[in-house]
Amino acid sequence: MKAIILVGGQGTRMRPLTNHIPKNIVPLCGVPFLTYQVEALRKVGIREIVFSIGYRPQDIKKVFRSGSHLGVKIHYALENHPLGTAGAIKNTEKFVKRSPVVIFNGDILTDIPLSTMIALHKKKKHWATLGLVRVEDPTAYGLVLMDPKGGITKFLEKPAAEEVVADTINAGVYVFEPEVFDLIPPGVNYSAERALFPHLLKDNHPFGGFVWEGYWQDIGTPRKYLTSHWDVLNGAFPVYAKLNRRQNKIFMGKNVKLGKGVLLKGPVIIGDGCVIHDDARILPYAVLGKNCVVGKKSMVSKSVLWDDVLVGDHVNLDEVILGRGCRISSHSRVGAGSVLGDHARV
Ligand code: GDD
Ligand code: MG
């Protein structure tokens, strides 16, 4: 089996973090996000993956190249203008060559058991099977209703509050048979959620769901991106990334310099080449990228710092996200919940 990952969105809800990088490759615990999806596919024996790309394609190619370093073969299906989620799937057709495929929205982190889902898809002889999860508020997602036999009876994208009559939503993981590709018009913008799924329902094609009660998160907003780090660090999401594990859940890179009296309290990640000056405190759920500097008596907790961030002395950072190369001068204040884009200065 082959797989497709949808990587074309602009990540507008993640700005300013995504001003210089597609959201699908933002670092999650120091590893480009899509790596987690590639690993999940490789784990079930899927070795050929098509990235359906549109926004900043070179950035993505630079990171993933041929995929050989991850043990997979990656193809790139490039679109000149956004084709929508189904149009982007259709655009990969020449690579998947009429074989059944697993499809991922490129911004979800989940431990959904793909083998079980694929087995169910085959057993039920569905044309399409959607992974489904339960959430408290479905209004930001695709609401999905099922009959008792697991057939999908309704799909409603971004329902209004009064339309919410269930808690099962589209998790953004699909298995498709080649027949589904034939329903998508080529070369035009066509939405899976607003056009393709309603079409499958209208024409009564075999269309079912697989409900998953385990871990699931869409990382597409800064808050969810931040909490995904906490989930990886506290083990709610099983880690695929090869983290260099030290005692007390302190994941430390190479050539880290620690000053006198530095307090490290796990779980934390400290990237290669970081310098932590005297009496600084790196407290639970701090994630420091490569070559960050934390000044004297400063504190970092529940925060994500990308590479090359410089934090002066006597600065407290709690629940913030700082893009690459940010500079925070000594004694300045950055409020909890702040999100600063690359190279911001405070
Ligand atoms: N190639 C390509 N081209 N990819 C696209 C395009 C496009 O035109 N538009 C979106 N994508 C990619 C995005 O990069 C993302 O990985 C995925 O498709 C889903 O798009 P989002 O913009 O993140 O959609 P959403 O989060 O609002 O809703 C979708 O995901 C929810 C689960 O997280 C829908 O599929 C919902 O039904 C679902 O519940
Ligand atoms: Mg999304």
Q: What domains, with CATH codes, occur in the chain? A: 2-222 (3.90.550.10), 244-340 (2.160.10.10)
Closest residue to atom 35 of ligand 1, CA basis: 172
Instruction: Report which bound ligand comes closest to the CA of 55.
Output: 1
Q: Which atom of ligand 1 is nearest to the CA of 9?
A: 14
Q: What is the mean pLDDT of residues 21-44?
A: 94
pLDDT (tens digit, 9 = 90+) per residue, 285-341? 999 999 999 999 999 999 999 999 999 999 999 999 999 999 999 999 999 999 999
Q: Ligand 1 centre from 285 Cα, in Å?
A: 28
Among 56, 107, 136, 167, name the best residue to mutate to test ligand 1's pocket (greatest count of ligand atoms within 8 A of Cβ): 107
Q: Buried b vs exposed e over 327-337: b needs ≥16 C-beta within 10 Å?
A: bbeeeeebeee
pLDDT attached to residue 55:
85
Tokens of 280: 């600084």
Cβ < 6 A, ligand 1 pocket: 6-9, 24, 52, 54, 79, 82-85, 88, 105-108, 141-142, 157, 169-170, 172, 193, 218, 220
Q: Ligand 2 centre from 298 Cα, in Å?
A: 35
pLDDT (tens digit, 9 = 90+) per residue, 57-88? 999 999 999 999 999 999 999 998 999 999 99
Among 85, 144, 184, 225, name the best residue to mutate to test ligand 1's pocket (greatest count of ligand atoms within 8 A of Cβ): 85
What is the DSSP secondary structure assignment for residue 185, as one 8-state letter?
Answer: P
Tokens of 3: 């797989």
pLDDT at 241 over 70: no
| C-alpha torsion angle, residues 322, 325, 326, 330 (rounded to 10) | 120
pLDDT band at 239 (very low <50, low <70, confident <90, very high): low
Tokens of 283: 């407290």
Instruction: Report which bound ligand comes closest to the CA of 106.
Output: 1
| C-alpha torsion angle, residues 232, 235, 236, 237 (rounded to 10) | 50
